[in-house]
Structure 1
Amino acid sequence: MPSTATLTERYIDATVRSLRPEAQDDVRAELEASIADAVEARLEQGESPDAAERAVLTELGDPGALAAGYADRPLYLIGPRYYLTWWRLLKLLLMIVPVCVLAAVALGQTIAAAPVGEIISTAVVATGGTILHLCFWTTLVFVILERAGADTGVKWDVDQLPEAREKGVGRSELIASLVFLGIAVGALLWDRFRGFVQVEGDALPILNPQLWPWGVATLGLLIVAEAVFAVVLYRRRGWSTGLAVVNTVLAVAFLAWSLILLLRGELVNPEFLSHIVAAGGEGFAAGDAKAADEGGIFRILAVLLGFGIALGVGWDIVDGWIKTARARRG
């Protein structure tokens, strides 16, 4: 469904997306008919088409509540007045905060050169505690609001309707993927032969020249595999479990390639690091000495780079499985 969908189409899509697949078509047809009749009645009373459509949808209310009625799914835990606001806020917090805590604790423990077991246990305990606190305190706040009869100030209107999701994978997504992969190849070649860093007119590669040809060839194969995957995904017009598995394998393979070289100290050009030390002068050396307990500034930067790569790969994997789940529901 295109992004220029009418308010009615967006409202119906927002209502049926959480229903069972076998019930979606019937509910869609019923809503289309009832909304059309209600709009037609208002048009006969002299209202404009836009005003009539907005008034009818506003009377129907939050599509989440309407969907719950069709599914015979009660909305209570705190109470129907606050349930949807509480649930949406809690889901948003649980998607963001625990991941940030896990990454931050693991990063800090890694920089401090803690043993692997301590890194894992500390991060897991901190994340678990965060989840418990989020659930408890968020729920407690809404319980107090309900008992006090306070108004959260959150009111639903048709302008909050999400854009209808497109079916399958669009051509723009394919082009973006291929352009990004092309830029990656271009960056590799430029770094090797032209250099992003110039020292006295000579190119100073950032990546270790020893990676050529076999290390870079391995990365090139992964890039080609990603390009083929993007084309297959486009031709299949959507995600499936098999494609999500392939996406996970490719992402893990890139992560392994990056982290193995990073841990061995073979990813970044040693001459480039020496150039940074020379350019930094005494101030850089003093800062590196202060960070000696953590292995020096370069080790800290390597840890940060590794975590950045891992987070990017992790999001790519999760995003693939989320899209697969959406495709199966749709």
Structure 2
Amino acid sequence: MTATTPLTERYISATIRSLRPETQADVRAELEASIADAIEARLDQGEAPEAAERAVLTELGDPGALAAGYADRPLYLIGPRFYLTWWRLLKLLLAIVPVCVLGGVAVGQTISGAPVGEIISTSILATGGAILHLCFWTTLVFVILERSNSATAIEEWDLDQLPEPTQNGAGRSELIASLVFLGIAVGALLWDRFRGFVSVDGEALPILDPQLWPWGIGVLFLLIVAEAVFAVVLFRRGRWSTGLAVANTILALAFLGWVLVLLLGGDLVNPAFLAHLTAAGGEGFAAGQAESAGEGGVFRILAVLLGFGIAAGVVWDIVDGWIKTARAPRV
């Protein structure tokens, strides 16, 4: 075989992704050569190319176990039988459940009007409890499976479980998508101000507070321009670096700060637009406002949800940048 096929590339990518960046190139070259030689030997015996490739990769086994051999990293829980399955499931649960618990408890405490200290302490305690329960119960299940000598399908691995290769750099499509999104954001801001997404009696009713123009919106335009410059620089570099991750963090936090300052001060949304919503909602909306008065009303609840939603997106953007930086090859 003169070129690496998509299936072989998926297998190699899945194997080297957990290795140290400085060793990935050597391991990749070694695997490409050994896999090609093994496939060539099977082709000489008359096997079809696709069947030969699948047979060779299946014989190599789970890429996680192969990577552990290259890294000289033992795989043990109580024993090695279910280690990889346990570890993958636990990582997935720890990446999802604690974040949901933290966000849910924080949102609930904020809506109920709890003090900041109580919001933080309650959220941290709930998250810590969730992590402990996840680790204990997930591990206990696999200990029972192993101790009971359970023969289940979870210990079997095949090629269909190979993940797609991850792209840690910045391709042309990512650059175009970023610039298009930023352009749409600028267009939406201008449309809201001069044409309006809502019209009342033939007149535009902006959603954002008109008092934000020009200085408040000017700051947002500067952040959008900075994001566009960042996207271009990232594309030209072709990979993430510590400096780019820091810049991405600063831009994300600056945007979050801009939103939260205006949102908490009641200066983000046009008061006339809120009054229009109240009037259009009728008696049912007024009843909802009265019922939620203890939490500040429906609009305050929506503001809290909006703030937490934006914060979650910003945190993910920051974390994603640092993950890509850690995975980027060293040059």
- State the TM-score, normalized to the length of structure 1: 0.96
**1:68 maps onto 2:59 in alignment:** no
The AA in structure 1 aligned to 2:76 is: Y
**1:169 maps onto 2:170 in alignment:** yes
2:203 corresponds in structure 1 to 202
The AA in structure 1 aligned to 2:7 is: L
- Whether the aligned pair in 2 keeps the contact of 1:42 and 1:52 (CA below 8 Å) is yes
Find the aligned partners of 1:22 and 1:257 in 2 and give their Cα distance: 40
Find the aligned partners of 1:315 and 1:231 in 2 and give their Cα distance: 21
Greater Cα offset, 65-74 or 29-38 = 29-38
2:258 corresponds in structure 1 to 257
1:89 corresponds in structure 2 to 89
Identity fraction in percent: 80
**1:67-116, CA deviations, whole angstroms, 9 ceiling, x for partnerless residues?**
11122111002322100000000000000000000000000000000000
The AA in structure 2 aligned to 1:100 is: C
What are the equivalent positions in structure 2 for 1:91-106 lying under 5 Å apart?
A: 91-106=91-106
Find the aligned partners of 2:15 and 2:281 in 1 and give their Cα distance: 59
- Whether the aligned pair in 1 keeps the contact of 2:106 and 2:123 (CA below 8 Å) is yes
Shift in Å at residue 17 of structure 1? 2.3
Greater Cα offset, 149-158 or 198-207 = 149-158
1:317 corresponds in structure 2 to 318
| Unaligned segments of structure 1, at least 5 residues | none
1:25 corresponds in structure 2 to 25
Find the aligned partners of 2:216 and 2:171 in 1 and give their Cα distance: 33
SS at match of 1:97: helix
1:121 corresponds in structure 2 to 121
**1:308-329, CA deviations, whole angstroms, 9 ceiling, x for partnerless residues?**
1111111111111111111156
Find the aligned partners of 1:200 and 1:78 in 2 and give their Cα distance: 72
Greater Cα offset, 100-109 or 307-316 = 307-316
Residue-pair matches, total: 327
Shift in Å at residue 233 of structure 1? 0.6
Shift in Å at residue 259 of structure 1? 0.5
**1:54 maps onto 2:54 in alignment:** yes
| Unaligned segments of structure 2, at least 5 residues | none
Greater Cα offset, 120-129 or 192-201 = 192-201
- State the TM-score, normalized to the length of structure 2: 0.95
Find the aligned partners of 2:5 and 2:325 in 1 and give their Cα distance: 23
What are the equivalent positions in structure 2 for 1:1-330 lying under 5 Å apart?
A: 5-154=5-154, 155-166=156-167, 168-328=169-329
